[in-house]
């Protein structure tokens, strides 16, 4: 969070303000998460520039919600990671879209299969799914 600047969410609590009352803020997150009463607040919509011009909307969660998300990630990721298939690439540590493409090419070539490729562009760009 600090590396990215730790921008404030809808509650306008910056990383610095969160840290100024760290013990109490962490206790509040722990209390709500452990009691099952934690519900993430809405994200703040911020327009950011695109490289090719225009803007896109970026959702900025609160600092407290980013802390809660990281706690869940650190706790659950090592427990569930062993159950994923080796060819599963989405939202996994150390895996990327480029790895997925390389994996498809590698597995199809080694098994002698004719691979049918499907690409799914962003819905927001109003382009239908393309299959070749």
Instruction: Give the H or E element holding residue 13.
Output: none
Q: Is the pLDDT of residue 127 over 50?
A: no
Mean local confidence (pLDDT), 9-26: 95
What number of residues does the chain have?
132
Stated as kind and residue range, the H or E segment containing 121 is: none
Q: Would the pLDDT of 121 be above 60? A: no
Bigger pLDDT: 123 vs 77: 77
Dump pLDDT digits (tens) for 27-85. 999 999 999 999 999 999 999 999 989 999 999 999 999 999 999 999 999 999 999 88
pLDDT confidence of 117, banded at 50, 70, 90? Answer: low
What pLDDT shows up at residue 97?
77
What is the pTM for the complete model shown?
0.68
Asked whether the beta carbons of 100 and 117 are under 8 A apart, the reply is no
Select from 105, 12, 122 the least CA-distant residue to 57.
122
Write the DSSP assignment of 68-93 as a string of letters: HHHHHHHHHHHHHGGGS-TT--TT-T
């Amino acid at each position: 969070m600090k590396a990215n600047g730790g921008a404030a969410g809808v509650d306008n609590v910056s990383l610095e303000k969160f840290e100024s009352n760290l013990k109490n803020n962490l206790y509040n997150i722990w209390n709500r998460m452990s009691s099952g009463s934690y519900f993430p607040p809405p994200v703040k919509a911020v327009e950011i520039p695109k490289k090719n011009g225009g803007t896109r909307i970026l959702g900025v969660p609160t600092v407290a919600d980013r802390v809660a998300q990281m706690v869940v990630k650190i706790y659950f990721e090592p427990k569930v990671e062993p159950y994923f298939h080796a060819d599963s690439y989405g939202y996994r540590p150390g895996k990327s879209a480029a790895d997925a493409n390389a994996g498809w090419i590698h597995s199809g070539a080694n098994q002698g299969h004719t691979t049918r490729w499907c690409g799914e562009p962003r819905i927001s760009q109003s382009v239908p799914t393309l299959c070749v």
